[in-house]
Chains A and B, each alone.
Chain A
Amino acid sequence: MNMTESRLTQWMVHITLAVLLIITLFPIALMVLNAVKPSAEIVQNPLAWPTHLRWDNFTRAWSDANFGRTLFNSAVLTAMTIVLVCATGSLTAYVLARRKIKTWKILTFYLLASTTAPIQLFLFPLYFGFARFGLINNPIAVAFIYTAVYSPFAIMLLRTYFLAVPKELEEAALIDGATHWQVFTRVFLPIVSPGILTVALIIGLYSWNEFLIATTFLQGQDQLTAVVSFFLLSGQYASDWGVIMAAALIIVLPIVVLFVLLQRRFIDGMAGGSVKG
């Protein structure tokens, strides 16, 4: 679709978009700028250019937030969640996309409903139940919670990819004597792999950034995720905001780089469940 507009409209449009751009980038710019400034200069003027770049903010942030440990924890938790969601989600999407039987509607309704269930509705019994079984501070248990919370979204997205696979392919394979497992692994998975990659990226982003569940279930010093460790570090009084911004940048940078490189996948995937067509 194309709209060609008068010069005046073009100007107004670009000015508005530019203003929104500045609003969006301003806090991010403050984070980057102050990550390389000493505390005293931030207090003086958070907008001023640094007199000299203070790179040791990053080394201090690394040790203060125990990033050697916590980034590793986040990576392991994220990887486990991605594997769990993609494995269980694609199996379910395979069934949901192919069977048009009424009973599957119930399952679909159930999954849709659980995407809108407030976390507080299951958080408290889950916490005290996990505590009883000694599952607090256990990243595997948290990966399962993430899987339960994120997989309905993943299934709805994967289902559209599974639907796009031609029926003839599946029927031909079944007639040739392939089992459903073989059809799933040999016919479907190679074709829907772009969809699985998209889901992996988005679920990875969600679990890397997740706060409420991580802060509730992983409180041991050795089990903290990077985001929670950052939260605790920045909550201390008399903290050095240069160091805090450096710590923020360490967590955000890999995500932003990945996002800019694979923007289409992120944006289409996250918008995927919400736009018709």
Chain B
Amino acid sequence: MHRLYVLPTLIINIVIIAIPALMTVMLAFFEWDGISDPIFVGLDNFRTLWDDSVFWTALTNNVVWTIIFLIVPITMGLLAATMMLVARRSANFFQVIYFLPVIIATAITGRVWQGMIYSPVTGITGLLQRYGIDVANPLTETSSALYGIAVVDLWHWWGFLCVIFFAALRQVPSEQIEAARVEGATFFQTIRYVLLPGIMPTITLMMIMTVIWSFLVFDFVYILTQGGPAYSSEVLSTFAYRSAFYDLAVGKAAAISVVISLFGLAATVVYIRVQAREFDQ
């Protein structure tokens, strides 16, 4: 029975992901400290969240994050990828360099930015201050902490999109591009009317994934600010993590996880539709 070959994958996946995920959904309706018996509390966890200003800050931050990441890295990636088509001979060199931040561990990227760039003591910010330029460490201001983190994640992330868009652009049929050029289209007209429509499926997929990933963002927030100062850079995932492991309010954490998943779910449905169509070929 060779069909049983799927069993190892399936068992591991169900034990590690599916069962705990179902338990999370159930736990959202319980009060639990992780050790003693859970107590059923109905919708109390969600009611507490509704009245919790930190929850609303975190949710807003996730939405802001999504908007930033739908615009900035996708634009940067598309811009660089189309330009790499022109700079064909050096394209591979640029591609490899742009991809470097993707392969560096988030913990390391976070610390390098924190210590070498943002820090007023050891970083570029401090150096500029000594030259009399008025810059502050964005991570320590409530108004800018989230954006300070977003910049780090952007630096880490955009190269991935660039490489993906470049791979897609190379598959646009060259006859289409030549036809456009013969008819006198300029470089930017070619981009606008031939190249962008040509890779639209890839752009759509990356936008869906951006929405999903934006609600999962954890590493850089946890590493750089732990959600601070004064919860100003808190996102749902760090809020859930803190609730579960610092406050031992596992039920509340589960409720937050359910909220994250609901946002992800909408995007996931679209994602599966798009992917499944491709899967059928």
Contacts and interface: CB of A to CB of B under 8 A. Distances in A.
A45 to B, nearest CB: 6
B182 interface: no
Given A31-B116, A89-B9, A145-B16, A248 B260 contact: no
Interface residues of B, number: 111
B87 A17 contact: yes
Interface in B223-281: 223, 236-237, 240-241, 244-245, 250, 253-254, 256-258, 260-261, 264, 267-268, 271-272, 275-276, 278-279
Contacts of B244: 123-124, 127
Interface in A106-164: 107-114, 116-129, 131, 144-145, 147-149, 151-152, 155
B86 interface: yes
Contacts, number: 307
A99 B174 CA distance: 35
Contacts of B18: 114
A180 B116 contact: no
Q: In the complex, which range does the number of interface residues on chain A fall in?
A: 35 or more
A266 interface: yes
B57 interface: no
A62 interface: no
B182 to A, nearest CB: 13
A216 B245 contact: yes
B272 A109 contact: yes
Interface in A239-277: 241, 244-245, 248, 251-252, 255-256, 259-260, 263, 266-268, 270-271, 274-277
Most buried by A among B90, B122, B164, B272: B122
Contacts of B258: 121
A128 to B, nearest CB: 5
A191 interface: no
Interface stretch (B42-50, B63-71, B91-99, B137-145): B91-99
A5 interface: yes
Contact of B164 (A25, A30, A47, A275): A275
B122 A47 contact: no
Interface in A41-72: 42-43, 45-47
A116 B100 contact: no
B8 A91 contact: yes
A216 B242 CA distance: 12
Contact of A5 (B10, B86, B167): B86
A95 interface: yes
Nearest to B168: A275
Nearest to B104: A252
A30 B116 contact: yes
A20 B155 CA distance: 10
A266 B24 contact: no
B174 A109 contact: no
B168 A120 contact: no
A24 to B, nearest CB: 6
B100 A256 contact: yes
16 contacts: A3-B88, A17-B83, A21-B98, A24-B97, A43-B121, A43-B122, A43-B126, A88-B8, A95-B2, A110-B13, A113-B268, A118-B215, A121-B258, A126-B16, A131-B34, A145-B16
Interface of B: 2-3, 5-6, 8-10, 12-13, 15-21, 23-24, 27, 34-35, 76, 79-80, 83-88, 90, 92, 94-109, 111-113, 115-117, 121-124, 126-127, 155, 159-160, 163-164, 167-172, 174, 177, 181, 187, 190, 201-202, 205-206, 209, 212, 215-216, 218-219, 222-223, 236-237, 240-241, 244-245, 250, 253-254, 256-258, 260-261, 264, 267-268, 271-272, 275-276, 278-279
Given A46-B124, A274-B205, A275-B164, 20 more contacts: A1-B169, A1-B177, A2-B174, A13-B86, A20-B76, A92-B10, A95-B3, A116-B268, A121-B258, A121-B260, A125-B20, A125-B27, A212-B218, A230-B111, A234-B111, A241-B122, A252-B105, A252-B108, A271-B163, A275-B171
